[in-house]
Amino acid sequence: RFSLLLLNLEEYYFEQHTANHIIKKGSRDERKFRGSLKICSKSIIFEPDDNVQPIIKIPLRDCISIKAPEDNEGNSLFMRDASGGISVSCSQVFLIKERNTIAPYKTVRGRTEHLFQLDVAGKQGDVVQTLHQLHRASCLDKMGDQAAMITAILQSRLARTSFDKNRFQSISEKLHMECKAEMVTPLVTNPGHVCVTDANLYFQPLNGYPKPVVQITLQNVHRIYKRRHGLMPLGLEVFCTENDLCSDIYLKFYNYQDRDKLYSFIAPHREKHVTEHTAESYMLQWQRGHISNYQYLLHLNNLADRSCNDLSQYPVFPWIIADYSSSVLDLTKPESFRDLSKPIGALNKERLDRLLARYQEMPEPKFMYGSHYSSPGYVLFYLVRVAPEYMLCLQNGKFDHADRMFNSLAETWKNCLDGATDFKELIPEFYENDSSFLVNSLKLDLGKRQGGKMVEDVELPPWASGPDDFLQKSQEALESQYVSEHLHEWIDIIFGYKQKGSEAVKAHNVFHPLTYEGGVDLNSIMDPNEKVALLTQILEFGQTPKQLFTTPHPQRIIPTPSHSISITDSPVSPNEESFEDLTEESITLAWNNIVKLKLDEQYKIHKE
């Protein structure tokens, strides 16, 4: 039941101890629960073995006292069996997953006493000392000072440990490099040790969670990307597949030299047939119809630092369909589609005029939109039914208000067109095959709407017979001729030349300066508190993808039925002879006739 999502954002899980949680010790109502005591950088968490009992989370900043009761204190509460006991007195606790149900956290306010009795009594002193240290950090006034003290504690723990070489797959493996790093998953980073041998990449978490070691065979690596994490060039993401959305491991290093060294060692190990793809090479494949619109967008997201493991840089996909009211979706009509040449904020002229009027009066640095098209909150808005614990983690143990939930596609699209601050695009899940994010199959209590209706499954447009049919039609729309003809215009806005500068102003595509790569240099900010505040703002607000193209993106080459020559018109039937088999005379004839061909269309199919 425990997961790192029970921690606060930017919190670390250090260690765990088997223990009993004793309530009302010494009284007639004394109760004892067996479980695991987890020491985290900002909280103490106790996970009972009994699933019916809630997980208890005590924020360290709400602790009044943390002590090991001494035998000679004569305190009646701890007179008997006090060895290994740790007494915690606090002003607030959170109860989580009571009866093993995912729901908003329950808050118990007011002073409460907790006694945890460790199985290994000898560890009592070390645990109390660690808790005192972390409690001091949590009570510092400024976030920057807290972060600095916790980082110092973490680094000293990492320095005292190293990778356990007994974890190697084979005794003949040769160690290449070892360094400290963090494994990144959505909303969570988990510190530990990275180790690379001639055959494998290993990551060993400091806390042994969720498993003692993660191992990737270098021979299986297909793709590897350097990533920007928290605006710093410290990330590395490894994929063992060609087209999957999610990677096999995402690591964040403490300095870019370690990251680059590891990259240069792993990159040559990729399967022999795998070449390093650039945005241009994918563009050529897409232009010629070798990869689908969906695959192309996935590759561009990857190259632009978007990752499923980083919710502030989650892959961004466009709204395509604009019709959520008809009983039949007609993909031959242009009006069934959203205008892909404009950002969401510019689709409604009335709203845009209001935004532009505000923009004109704004002092520098100006921006048109006060919120972004992709942020952690928006990603989880769409995924709350399959990722409720992520939403609770992001929102301090609460779900959003029922009326602000993802209740209906028509409603969400209307709000993106009319809402004063809603400019969000979609996520890849809308064009894949798993429709579970549209269905409340976990039977979550997501609240009651104003009309008294409970939040259940997402309401689909009339033209969809069910969630799977909705995804099927969304995929057809994404791969339709209309989108193939216009997708390059959306790419110009999100990944291309209209993303920044004067072209962005002309395209009404200007967001807050902090959302752009290079918008702020964190290394130049000396005040740690200002740095933490800025980073938090950037990560929660959303980030613009890395710019991949600086000139207009070419259009896809669409073979239209009128110009493709059918087999029946061809003078040579398919199983007779090919062009190579023609006689000299026929070849001369063919070349003589070439002057009669009329130019239909022409394309540049290399680079720009």
Mean pLDDT over 97-105 rounds to 94
**Taking 80 as the threshold, does the pLDDT of residue 572 lie above it?**
no
Regarding whether 449 and 316 lie in a shared domain, the answer is: yes
Under a CB-based contact definition with an 8 Å cutoff, are residues 392 and 187 in contact?
no
**Taking 80 as the threshold, does the pLDDT of residue 417 lie above it?**
yes
Regarding whether 486 and 358 lie in a shared domain, the answer is: yes
- CATH number, residue 61: 2.30.29.30
Structure tokens at 273: 């047939």
Q: How confident is the model at residue 70 (pLDDT cuts 50, 70, 90)?
A: low
CA dist., res. 582 & res. 415, Å (int): 63
Q: Which of 295-304, 310-319, 594-603 has the lowest mean pLDDT?
A: 594-603
Mean pLDDT over 564-582 rounds to 44
CA atoms within 13 A on the CB side of 577: 7
Q: How many residues does the chain have?
A: 608
**Taking 90 as the threshold, does the pLDDT of residue 383 lie above it?**
yes
Is 74 or 324 the better-scoring residue by pLDDT?
324
Q: Residue 256 corresponds to which amino acid?
A: Y
Total domain count for the chain? 3
CA dist., res. 223 & res. 1, Å (int): 33
Q: Which of 274-278, 323-327, 432-436, 467-471 has the lowest mean pLDDT?
A: 274-278
Q: Residues 526-552: pLDDT tens digits?
A: 888 888 888 888 888 889 999 999 999
Please tell me the predicted confidence (pLDDT) of residue 362: 94
CA dist., res. 114 & res. 69, Å (int): 12
- Asked if the structure places residue 564 within a domain, the reply is no
- CATH number, residue 416: 1.10.1540.10
63 exposed, middle or buried (CB, 10 Å; 0-12, 13-18, 19+)?
Answer: buried
Regarding whether 507 and 426 lie in a shared domain, the answer is: yes
- Asked if the structure places residue 469 within a domain, the reply is yes
Question: What residues make up the domain containing 246?
Answer: 165-274
Whose tokens are 């619109």? That residue is 293
Please tell me the predicted confidence (pLDDT) of residue 569: 42
Regarding whether 103 and 47 lie in a shared domain, the answer is: yes
Question: DSSP of 46-59, one letter per residue?
Answer: EEESSTTSPEEEEE
Structure tokens at 195: 């180790």
Under a CB-based contact definition with an 8 Å cutoff, are residues 64 and 135 in contact?
no
CA dist., res. 227 & res. 242, Å (int): 18
CA dist., res. 21 & res. 127, Å (int): 15
- Asked if the structure places residue 29 within a domain, the reply is yes
Regarding whether 386 and 353 lie in a shared domain, the answer is: yes
Regarding whether 486 and 365 lie in a shared domain, the answer is: yes
* pTM score: 0.88
Q: Three-state SS string across 367-424, please?
A: CCECCCCCCHHHHHHHHCCCCHHHHHHHCCCCCCCHHHCCCEHHHHHHHHHHCCCCCC
Regarding whether 122 and 136 lie in a shared domain, the answer is: yes
Q: Which of 74-78, 271-275, 513-517 has the lowest mean pLDDT?
A: 74-78
Regarding whether 424 and 386 lie in a shared domain, the answer is: yes
- Asked if the structure places residue 304 within a domain, the reply is no
Regarding whether 117 and 266 lie in a shared domain, the answer is: no
Mean pLDDT over 187-214 rounds to 95
**Taking 80 as the threshold, does the pLDDT of residue 575 lie above it?**
no
Domain end: 541, 560, 576, which one?
541
Please tell me the predicted confidence (pLDDT) of residue 184: 95
**Taking 70 as the threshold, does the pLDDT of residue 587 lie above it?**
no
- Asked if the structure places residue 42 within a domain, the reply is yes
**Taking 60 as the threshold, does the pLDDT of residue 388 lie above it?**
yes
For 463, the 3-state DSSP assignment is: coil
Regarding whether 255 and 398 lie in a shared domain, the answer is: no
Q: How confident is the model at residue 571 (pLDDT cuts 50, 70, 90)?
A: very low
Please tell me the predicted confidence (pLDDT) of residue 201: 96
Please tell me the predicted confidence (pLDDT) of residue 151: 94
**Taking 50 as the threshold, does the pLDDT of residue 45 lie above it?**
yes
- Asked if the structure places residue 486 within a domain, the reply is yes
Domain end: 116, 143, 160, which one?
160
CA dist., res. 139 & res. 61, Å (int): 6
**Taking 90 as the threshold, does the pLDDT of residue 553 lie above it?**
yes
**Taking 90 as the threshold, does the pLDDT of residue 474 lie above it?**
yes
State the pairing for strand pair 232-239/43-48: unpaired
The overall average pLDDT reported for the chain is: 89
Regarding whether 537 and 490 lie in a shared domain, the answer is: yes
Is 563 or 426 the better-scoring residue by pLDDT?
426
Please tell me the predicted confidence (pLDDT) of residue 373: 96
- Asked if the structure places residue 378 within a domain, the reply is yes
Domain end: 115, 133, 160, which one?
160
Q: How confident is the model at residue 429 (pLDDT cuts 50, 70, 90)?
A: very high
Under a CB-based contact definition with an 8 Å cutoff, are residues 156 and 147 in contact?
no
Regarding whether 429 and 484 lie in a shared domain, the answer is: yes
Q: Which of 72-81, 131-140, 243-252, 430-439 has the lowest mean pLDDT?
A: 72-81
Structure tokens at 279: 């945005």
- Asked if the structure places residue 200 within a domain, the reply is yes
Q: Residues 204-260: pLDDT tens digits?
A: 999 999 999 999 999 898 889 999 988 889 999 999 887 777 889 999 999 999 999
Q: How confident is the model at residue 519 (pLDDT cuts 50, 70, 90)?
A: confident
